Each structure stands twice: as C-alpha cells, then as structure tokens.
Chain A
Amino acid sequence: MKRREFVKKTAVFAAGGLVVPFILPTGRLFARTNTPKADHVVVVIFGGGLRQQDSISQRYLADSQGFNVEGNILYNILEGAAPSSKIAYGTTPAGSPKGSQPIPKLLSQSIQKQGTIFAEMRAISGGHYGGLNSVMTGSGVEGQGLKVRPVNPTMFEYARKFGGFKATDTWFVGNGIGNSTPLLNSSKHPDFGLNYGANFFAPSVTFGGDGRATLANAKIYHPQEELEPMYKMKNFLDNTFNIKAGDIPGIKNTDEEKTRVKDFIDETFRRQMLGQIPSPPVGGGDSSTIGYAAEVLRVFKPKLLVVNMSNIDGCHSDFTGYLQAMHKADHAMGFLWNYIQTQIPEMSGKTIMTFVPECGRNLKHNPILDENDWFGYDHGDANSLRVFGGMVGQNVPSNLMVGSESSPIGKVTDITLTVADILGFKDEVVAAGIIDSQARSLFDRI
C-alpha cells in the first residue's frame, strides 16, 4: 500500500469512527447496558405531602385527630378494611354530610396484590420543591432556588440521552404552572439540558379556559402543501441566525413530531368539547390531570410519562379535604392503571407503573382547624421524610411488601434509577455519577 493510500484510508476510518456513533438515532452511542424490564414506564407522583400514618399505616383519624378510628382509605392501592365510622373521606351526595359517600373500589385487585409495595421509604426533603427535584432527578441535592430548572439531569434526560428516545417518547403532565413545576421537564446540566428534555403541559392551563382562548382556534395546515414549505423557510431563517441551541427557550421536537403534537392539541380540544377525554368516574382536581395523562398515553404510547398530583397538600388547613383528596388520588391512580391495561393494547402487559409522594407530612399538627374541627398538618420535620411507594406491571413481583416502619427500605431517589433499570440504561445513569450515591433501582431493593 502506498503511503498516500494508507494515509487516506486511515483518515477515512478515523472519520468514520468519529461520525458513525453520532448518526445513530438521537445520538445513542452504546448498546443498552441491561435488559429492559418493560417497554413503557408511568411514574405517578402521589404528590402534595402524604402522611405515612394516615395512608399506609391505615390509622385514619387515630394518629391525627385523637379519635380511635382506623382504616384504609387507599383501597385501590392497599389491602385493608375501610374505616367504619366518621366517614368524611368520600364524595358528598346532595343532602348528605360532607364526604360521607366513599368512592367505590375501581380495581378488582389492589396494586398491592398485583405488585410490590415499599412500605417505609425515605424522602430527601420535607418540602415540595426539594422533594419533586429528588424524585425527578434521583439526586440528593436540595439547595437550589425556586423557579429555576434542576441543577442535575432529570429522568427524561437520561432516558433520551441513554435510551435514544424522541421528545414525544417522554412526557411530564403537571398539576399546574406554579412554583417550578413547568421547569421540571429538563435540567440545566451542561451535558444534558433542554436538548434531552421531555414534552410538558399543565392540563388545567393548556386545555383550560386560557388555553382554549389562545390555542383552540389555531389553523390546521396541510402537512405537505403548507407545513412543509413553512418549515423549510423557517429552517433556512434559523440556519442564517446562529444562536446557540441552549439560548432558545424550551425543549425541541422535530418538525414531524411538532405536527403530531399540534394534531394532538387540536384533537384534545375537539374531544374535550365532546366529553371524550378519559376521566376517572369521580373527577375534578387531580383526577382531571390524570385523565389528560391517560390521553397522552392513548395517543403517543410514550416510553416514559410522569404525572404529578398535588391536591392532598390542602392538609395545611383542611384535614377533611386532605382525606378526600387522598381517597380521590387513589381512585385516579387505580383508573390510570386500569385504563392502560384495558384501553391501550400497545401498552397493556408491557408497562410498569411506579408511584411515590415527593414528601410526607409532620408528626404533630398545626393549630389550624377545619370545618370538622380537625387539625391541619404541615411538612418539614423528620416524619415528613417517611413515605411509601410501589410499582406494578410486567416483571414486578406480585403481592409483595418490602420494608416496614422498623426496617425502612428505599428512597425517593430510587425512582430515577428504577426507570433507567426498566428501560435498560441503569448502568449508564450510575456511571454518569450524578445521582444520589445511595439510590438503587427498586428491583435491586427486593
């Protein structure tokens, strides 16, 4: 081989070695490091601060208001008999005492029977923001300001970078636009960030009155005759304006994905008018958020969807409302699991749903009394770090309870690694070295 030919071939191979990994779909460089446990993951943040005593311990009013009334008001998730007196956690039929009508059990088998419950886990923070951050990022970092993106990568960014997923494969359905919720779909980490962020919307705004007035009348353009030339011109304009990708706010969908999402927005308003958005039988509040999450699952069949509930946080000043919101959240989560299994054939039997609150609530009450003269509970003390979680679905052991009050097992930071484990890139997330060093996949806790 002549010298010139040798140099040429070497250069070609070297260039190929550099280029080929980047032309693999969405920049994925390596093969998956572990066998995926399921094709899809749904994470439910049973959020707003769930007090351990009132939920998994099934103490109802016994450890909170001084009445000797115990019972399970989360009977779609947990096994256990419901309270037999002082029923205030249900709905309110006309002419009946408030909350006196418990919502009928929706699942034929509880999540506990179908899957695995981690009875005593630990939260990273006793506050919402630190708690949500720790669930979404798997990081133990608490100290960062409100209204900023997380410092460390979210589970979406790991999924897109290491799993090679598109933006429309990852969704975060939020309970609103307050605090930092709309910023939790992506971090500002220099190695991850918006290029790997998830699609996000807050149904109460996007598809509420504001959204309807702003979006519902949008023109639907013909994909080839109109959208294609429009995007061609836009892409030309963008190429002649060299701004750094990170300077453009928001995550990025491809042109093709944008068309799909626009169709989704249009169809959602139409289905909303026709009353076709899936919804738990007992609706309102968090139930509505769950309904729109089900709609995303139906349309996009994403690899990863996170939905955030928060109504139980009313416990600060309304303990009765907190019990009702908790009961309704159990109903909504049961609905979502049932919807996946019965209404989305592409996801049925191929999905794992996992859930955890971002934090618990205080041991001692505050001085605020509600209409039943029951005390409210804030969050922030050591008891607020006591939480429970679980998972259900493909490859999840059934009818298993892990850990107990005397033997805590699991942390909320486990969720990110559990998602990575389920989708097949756990080792890469660990190797990135950013998550809580004590975090484990919940599968490894069993």
Chain B
Amino acid sequence: MHNFKLLIFISVFLFMSACNKNENKVYEVQNTPSYGDNLNKNKAKSNIEYHSILTTNLFQKPSSVNELTRTDRVIQSFGDKALINEVIIGNYMNTNSVRLPSRKRMVDSTDLFIEETYVRFFIRKPTEAERTWFRNYINANKSNPNFKPELVYTAFAASDEYFFY
C-alpha cells in the first residue's frame, strides 16, 4: 500500500513538473534579401544556361528550347566565345521586346540604377569601390547621348562574372 501511494505521488509530481506555461517568444526577425558575393563564383555556365538566364534578364522570359539549342550550336561554331556572345547580345538588343531602364533613370537615379543592375546580373550588391567607379563613369558620360543603359547592360551581360555562378 505504501508503495502504491509512493508511485502515485511520483506520477503526480512528474506530471506537474512537466507542465509549464507556454511563453510566446517574439524574436523580431525582419525579412531581408540575401545577396552573395563574387568570391565563390567558380562554375562556368553552359551556353544554354547562360543564354536562358540572359534572355530572362533582358526579355523577362527565357528563350524557347529550340532557340537556345540553335544559339548553342552557333557558339560552338565560333572560336572566341566572348566575342560571339557579344554579337548575340547585340542581336538581342536589336529586338523590340528587350526591356531596358530609361536613360533618365540611369542619369537621375544613378546609385539605384547601379545597384539594380548589379543585383539583376550578378545577384549581389556592388561594393563601395564598384559603386563609386560606376557613379563616376556614368556621370562622366552624361554628355555623350550614345551612352545608354543598353551599353551598361551589354557590358554586364558580356562580363566574365556573368559567365560564372
């Protein structure tokens, strides 16, 4: 009988001690976009990956599989891959469906334009040095009417970093 009472006592004790008041903890986590850097980009995109991503960036939709396969064959048929990609980019830029920021945005909101371009193409924010260089360069070319966002986009699309992920 004594043992039975002891057992009940222990069970009640354990039951009571296992129950705690549930505290609602608020950590106040903010949604923040995560950007990488260029240090770990060491895998080359295939021709098809590169152009699929590029056309998505320029036209807001990727090319069809047929177009990508055709583009891949043309790149294979040329020795200087960077050069032929520049020509293909020039081909994209000559279509009506390419979507580019306005020159006004580039000139009036230069810092924002630079940051958006880096995020769009490199999936990262510019470093202070990069931001400063581009700000100065865009400002220095304000008087050149041919200096348009198209040229900035072409430079980013043809850059080595854009070939890698």
Contact = CB atoms under 8 A, between A and B. Distances in A.
A206 B79 CA distance: 11
B123 interface: no
Which of the four size classes fits the interface of chain A? 35 or more
Given A205-B77, A250-B81, A251-B80, A237 B156 contact: yes
Contacts of A240: 38, 127, 129-130, 161
B9 interface: no
A243 to B, nearest CB: 5
A286 B58 CA distance: 38
B100 to A, nearest CB: 13
Nearest to B121: A237
B29 to A, nearest CB: 32
Contacts of B41: 241, 243
A214 B88 contact: yes
Contacts of B77: 174, 177, 182, 201-202, 205-206, 210-211
Interface in B107-156: 127, 129-130, 133-134, 137, 141, 144, 146-147, 151-152, 154-156
A224 B163 CA distance: 26
B44 interface: yes
Interface string A220-248: 11100110011111101110110100011
B110 to A, nearest CB: 14
Given A250-B80, A252-B80, A261-B83, A215 B155 contact: no
B146 A200 contact: no
A127 to B, nearest CB: 22
A215 B82 contact: no
Most buried by B among A216, A253, A261: A261
B22 interface: no
Interface residues of B, number: 46
Contact of B144 (A185, A197, A215, A229): A229
B133 A215 contact: no
A299 interface: no
A249 interface: yes
B133 to A, nearest CB: 6
B80 A167 contact: yes
A237 B129 CA distance: 11
A64 interface: no
B22 to A, nearest CB: 51
A299 to B, nearest CB: 15
Interface in B63-83: 70-71, 73-74, 76-83
B93 interface: yes
B36 interface: no
Contacts of B147: 225-226, 229
B87 interface: yes
Contact of B94 (A186, A205, A218, A226): A218
B83 A218 contact: no
Contact of B160 (A174, A214, A217, A241): A241
B78 A234 contact: no
A218 B81 contact: no
B91 interface: yes
Contacts of B95: 217
B74 A210 contact: yes
A394 to B, nearest CB: 28
Contacts of A213: 70
Given A206-B74, A237-B160, A199 B79 contact: yes
Nearest to A201: B78
A158 interface: no
A262 B83 contact: yes
Given A229-B144, A250-B80, A237 B161 contact: yes
B113 to A, nearest CB: 13
Contact of B88 (A186, A218, A221): A218
A241 B74 contact: no
Nearest to A244: B42
Given A229-B144, A237-B159, A247-B42, 8 more contacts: A200-B78, A215-B87, A231-B155, A249-B81, A250-B79, A250-B82, A258-B80, A262-B86
Interface of B: 38, 41-42, 44, 70-71, 73-74, 76-84, 86-88, 90-91, 93-95, 127, 129-130, 133-134, 137, 141, 144, 146-147, 151-152, 154-156, 158-161, 163-164
11 contacts: A177-B77, A205-B73, A217-B91, A218-B87, A230-B158, A237-B160, A241-B41, A241-B159, A251-B79, A262-B83, A262-B90
Q: Which 7 A-B residue pairings sit nearest by Cβ, starting from the closest?
A: A250-B81, A200-B79, A218-B90, A233-B155, A205-B77, A237-B159, A241-B161
